[in-house]
Structure 1
Amino acid sequence: MELKYRSADFEDLESLVALLSNDPLGNKREDASVPLNRAYIEAFEAIVRDSNNDLVVVEQDNVLVGMLQITFIPYLTHIGSWRCLIEGVRIHSDYRGQGFGEQMFTHAIEQAKSRGCKIVQLTSDKQRPDAIRFYERLGFKATHEGFKLAL
C-alpha cells in the first residue's frame, strides 16, 4: 500500500480534471470534456510556474489514485509565518477507504514542515460531512468561519 508522490506533469492534466469531477459536487462545477477547457491548461501552467504551489499526483503501482494541491503562503500574522493551504484533495472512487487519504495528508504536512510552515489550513464544503469528519480525525479544528464570494 505504498504511495508515490510527484508533481503533476501536463500529461496528467486530463486525468486530474476527471478526478476532480468524479464526485457529486465536482460533477456540477467541473468540465471533464475532452479536449480540455483552456482554463484548466492556463491554471495548470500558472501552478507549475509558481514555486509556492505544488499540484501533487498520488500513485500506487503507477496508477493515479489521488491528487492534492499544496500552496505555501507567507503571512505577516503569527510573527510573519508561512502557512500551507491544502486544497483539491481527491481519491479515485476505486481506492477510497484504504487509508490513502491519511497517507496523503501525512505527506502534505511533512512538506509544510520542511518549508517552515507554522499552520496547515484547508477548507471543506459543508456538503461533505464525511470529509469534515476525516479532517477532524486528523486533528484539524474548525476554529474559523470561512466565507467565499463568487465572482
Structure 2
Amino acid sequence: MVVRKTRYEELRDLLDLYRHFDNGDPVLPDSPELKELWGEIYSNPNWIYLVCEVDGKLVSTCTISLIKNLTRSARPYALIENVVTHREYRNKGYGKMVLKKAQDIARDYNCYKVMLMTGSKKEETLKFYESVGFRKGIKTGFVMNM
C-alpha cells in the first residue's frame, strides 16, 4: 500500500475510481478535450491528485488545491475536494491515509488552513472527516451551483 501523487497515465483508473462517488456523475468518455484538460490539471503544481494504491489498484483518492493568498502574512490556504474510496475498500483506513497526506502537503506549503466541504449529510461521513481533524461549525460555507 502506498499513498502518492497520481501518475499522468492513470487518468482512466482515476476516472474509474470516481464511479464510486454517490453523486450520479456520468463517466467522462475518452476524448482529445479530456486529454487536454488532464494535461493542464496535471502540469499545475498547485493542483495535486493523491491516490492510495493497494496491490496495483487505485482504491482511494482526493484532490488538494493550493491557493496563493495576500492575507494571513501571504500564507496560502488549501481546498480538498473529490474524496472517494472504492466501495469494496471502505472502512479500511485508505481514505484517512490520502487525507493525512493532503494535510502533510498543506503543512509543507505553509498553508494557514485546509478547507473541505461535503455534500453528504450521512453521520458516518461527517464522523469520518472529524476523525482526521476537520471540524464543523468553524465557518459558514455557501455554495452556488453553476
Answer yes or no: same fold by TM over 0.5. Answer: yes
How big is each residue's C-alpha offset from its partner over 1:71-128, in whole Å with a ceiling of 9 and x where there is no partner? Answer: 1111222222111211111111111011112222221111111111121111111444
* Cα deviation code 1:44-66 (max 9, x no counterpart): 22211211111122201222111
Moved over 3 A (4+): 37-43, 126-129
Return the match for 1:23 from 13, 21, 24: 21
Q: Tell me which moved more, 118-127 or 128-137.
A: 128-137
Give the paired residue count: 145
Unmatched 5+ stretches in structure 2 = none
Match of 2:27 among 10, 28, 32: 32
TM-score by length of 1: 0.82
- Give 1:57-68 correspondences, 5 Å limit: 57-68=51-62
- Unaligned residue ranges in structure 1 (runs of 5+): none
CA distance in 1, matches of 2:91, 2:142: 30
- Sequence identity percentage: 27
Q: CA RMSD, aligned part only?
A: 2.1
Q: Which has the higher contact order (CA 8 A, sep 6+)?
A: 2
Of residues 84-93 and 118-127 in structure 1, the stretch that sits farther from structure 2 once superposed is: 118-127
TM-score by length of 2: 0.85
SS in 2 for 1:117: coil
Q: Contact 2:61–2:95 at 8 Å: present in 1 too?
A: no
Render the CA deviation track for 1:5-43: whole Å, top value 9, x for unaligned.
332234321221222122321xx2x2215x436664343
Give, in whole Å, the separation in 2 of the partners of 1:40 and 1:145: 34
Aligned-partner residue type, residue 128 of structure 2: F
Match of 1:113 in 2: 107
